[in-house]
């Protein structure tokens, strides 16, 4: 329990339940924990999830590799340092959706705000995530309308 949490506070109760899920292997080592999933599971705020995850980090049950990576259950080695940040995940996900035809040439992709909510990150993180796709000509931005798939987007890995 952190210094500022009183016994049986909501973050403490969430941390206790998460601890049980981790220690009885319902959530195995290496499982990625998203704030949005935990918020939905317990019906709590992002601040409550952050406080609970801090308690679990302090106990060595949850770890993060660096800023921009999602917390995950401790105990499994991290993959190579390529493509592990949430920023890279968003870039790769949008690229994959374009390549698979989910968003075709001329289609508008979800707004920065919608993508930020989907990934539980800031709008600035989404903006940085889309930057490589804009630089590569896969996406174009038309202000104030939105971001669209370029009409001649190539399949880029």
- Structurally, the chain folds into a number of domains equal to 2
Has residue 134 been placed in a domain? yes
3-state secondary structure the chain: CCCCCCCCCHHHHHHHHHHHHHHCCCCCCCCECCHHHHHHHHCCCHHHHHHHHHHHHHCCCEECCCCCCCCEECCCCCCCCCCCCHHHHHHHHHHHHHHCCCCCCCCECCCHHHHHHHHCCCHHHHHHHHHHHHHCCCEEEECCCEEEECCCCCCCC
* Residue 155: pLDDT band with limits 50, 70, 90: very low
Beta carbons within 10 angstroms of residue 74's beta carbon = 16
- Whether residue 66 is predicted with pLDDT greater than 90 in this model: the reply is no
Query: Within a domain: residue 78?
Result: no
Same domain, 68 and 90: no
Supply the pLDDT for residue 153.
Answer: 44
Sign of CA dihedral 43, 15, 51, 125: negative
pLDDT tens figures, 104-131: 999 999 999 988 888 878 888 899 899 9
Q: Specify whether 92 is located in the same domain as 131.
A: yes
Q: Which among 73, 107, 122 is the end of a domain?
A: 73
Residue 108's domain comprises: 86-149
What is the number of H-type helices and E-type strands within the chain? 6, 4
Using the predicted structure, report yes or no on whether residue 83 has a pLDDT greater than 50. no
Assigned domain for 154 exists = no
Q: What pLDDT shows up at residue 118?
A: 83
Asked whether residue 4 is assigned to any structural domain, the reply reads no
Does residue 63 sit in the same domain as residue 93? no
**Residues 42, 10: Cα–Cα separation, whole Å:** 10
pLDDT of residue 1: 45
In a domain, 19, yes or no: yes
Find the CATH number of the domain harbouring 60: 1.10.10.10
Domain assignment present for 110 = yes
Please give the pLDDT value at position 78. Answer: 46
Domain boundary among 73, 94, 120: 73
**Residue 33 in domain:** yes
């Amino acid at each position: 329990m952190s210094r500022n949490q009183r016994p049986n506070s909501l973050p403490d109760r969430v941390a206790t339940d998460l601890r049980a899920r981790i220690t009885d292997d319902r959530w195995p080592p290496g499982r990625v924990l998203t704030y949005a999933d935990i918020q939905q599971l317990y019906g709590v705020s992002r601040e409550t999830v952050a406080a609970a995850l801090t308690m679990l980090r302090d106990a060595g049950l949850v770890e993060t590799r660096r800023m921009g990576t999602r917390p995950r259950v401790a105990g499994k080695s991290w993959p190579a340092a390529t493509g592990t940040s949430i920023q890279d995940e968003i870039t790769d996900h949008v690229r994959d959706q374009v390549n698979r035809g989910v968003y075709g040439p001329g289609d508008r992709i979800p707004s920065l705000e919608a993508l930020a909510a989907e990934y539980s990150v800031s709008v600035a993180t989404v903006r940085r995530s889309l930057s490589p796709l804009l630089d590569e000509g896969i996406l174009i931005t038309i202000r104030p309308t939105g971001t669209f798939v370029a009409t001649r987007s190539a399949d880029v890995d």
